Amino acid sequence: MHYYTFHPKDYMSKTGFLAPLEDLAYRRMLDYCYLNEKPLPSDVDEIALLVSMRSHSDSIAVVLRYFFELTEDGYINDRVEKEIEAYQEKSEKARVSARARWDKRKPKKDSKASKDKDSCERNANASETHDGRNANQEPITTNQEPVTNTNGDDEKSLNIPFDVFWKTYAKSVAKDKCEVKWESLSDKIREQIMQHLPAYVASTPIKKYRKDPMTYLNKKGWLDDIIVDEPGINQQSQPSYSSMNVNAKYEDPDYDPLDGLSSRAGALHENY
C-alpha cells in the first residue's frame, strides 16, 4: 500500500501518553507495515534499523509493548492487519471487475478485426495495465476509523485502551471488574494512571507485594508516593546469616550434648 487515510483525532486519542520519540517510532513502524504489507521483524534492533532509529531501541520497545503483538511471523498490529486484508480483498475485486469490463469491450473476430489485430492487442495491454494499477492504488477510506463493537463495549472510544493498562500492571486479578472501573474513569485520570504506573510496577517487581489492580484503581493508587528502598541503610545493624552456620555443633560427630555438665555442676557445688 502506497497510500492510506490518516485521522489525527483518532490517532492522538490512542497515543496521547507517548513521548515524542515514541510517537515518531510508532508512525514510522506503521508506515513500514502499510508500505510492505507485512509484519515487523521480531528483533527490536532490526526494526530500529528499518525505521532509521538505531539509537532509540528503547522507544521502539515501548511502542511494541503497547500497540503490537509478537507472532511467528513477527510483530503485528491488529488495526494494520485488518486494513491490509480489506485493501487486498478490494484490490482483487477491482482487478476482476476491470478484466470483466475489458472482456465485454473486445470486438468480435471479423475481417476488420483481423486486419487491425496487432493494433488491438497493443491497446488491450495498455488498458489492462492501467486498470490494474488503478485498482492497486485505490485508497482505503476506512483506515483509522473507530471500529464498532457488536458486544456493546465502547473501549475503542477511550483515550487509553484498557489492554494498555492491563498489560502494564501485569497482575491478573479480577480483570472484568477492572475493565468496568477503567471505562468509568475520565480521560484525565487514565492519563495520570499511565504516567504513574510504570514506576510503581518497577518498584514492586515481586507481584505478591503489588496491590491488586482493583485495589489500585479503587483507592487511587496513582496518587501515592513511590517508595524505593535506599541501599546501605541499616545494613550494619542487621545480622548476617549468610556466614553463620547455626547447626555446626550438631554436625560434629564427636559432639556430646552432656559434655561439660559435670564441670558446671562442680562449680555450682563449690559456690554453695
**Domain-embedded: residue 180:** yes
Q: Is residue 192 part of a domain?
A: yes
Distance CA 260, CA 5 (A): 92
Tell me: do 36 and 96 sit in the same domain: yes
Structural domain count, the chain: 2
pLDDT mean over 195-203 = 92
What integer best gives the mean pLDDT of the chain? 76
CB atoms within 10 A of CB 104: 7
14 and 139, same domain (yes or no): yes
Residue 100: what pLDDT? Answer: 82
pLDDT, tens only, 122-170: 665 555 544 445 445 555 444 544 444 444 444 457 899 999 999 999 9
Residue 265 lies in a domain: no
Domain-embedded: residue 256:
no
40-58 as b/e: b if 16+ CB within 10 A: beeeeeebbebbebeebbe
Helix (H, G, I), strand (E, B) or coil at 160: coil
pLDDT in tens, 215-263: 999 999 999 988 876 555 444 444 443 334 444 444 455 545 445 544 5
Q: Which domain holds residue 204?
A: 155-223
What backbone phi and psi angles, to 5 degrees, belong to 18? -75, 145
Asked which of 117-121, 175-179, 248-252 is least confident by mean pLDDT, the reply is 248-252
Q: Can you give the pTM of this predicted structure?
A: 0.37
In a shared domain, residues 129 and 160: no
In a domain, 239, yes or no: no
Looking at the structure, tell me whether residues 46 and 84 fall in a common domain.
yes
Domain identity same for 178 and 116: no
Asked whether the predicted pLDDT for residue 37 surpasses 60, the reply is: yes
| pLDDT tens, position by position, 44-102 | 999 999 999 999 999 999 999 999 999 998 999 988 888 888 888 888 888 888 888 77
Max avg pLDDT among 2-11, 12-21, 233-242: 12-21
| Residue where one domain finishes, among candidates 92, 116, 147 | 147
- Which of these, 48, 53, 165, lies nearest to 40 by C-alpha position? 48
State whether 143 and 87 are in the same domain: yes
What is the average pLDDT across 1-23?
86
Amino acid present at 130: H
Which of 147, 163, 188 lies at the terminal end of a domain, its last residue? 147
Looking at the structure, tell me whether residues 198 and 169 fall in a common domain: yes
Does a structural domain hold residue 253? no
| Residue 57 and residue 134 in one domain | yes
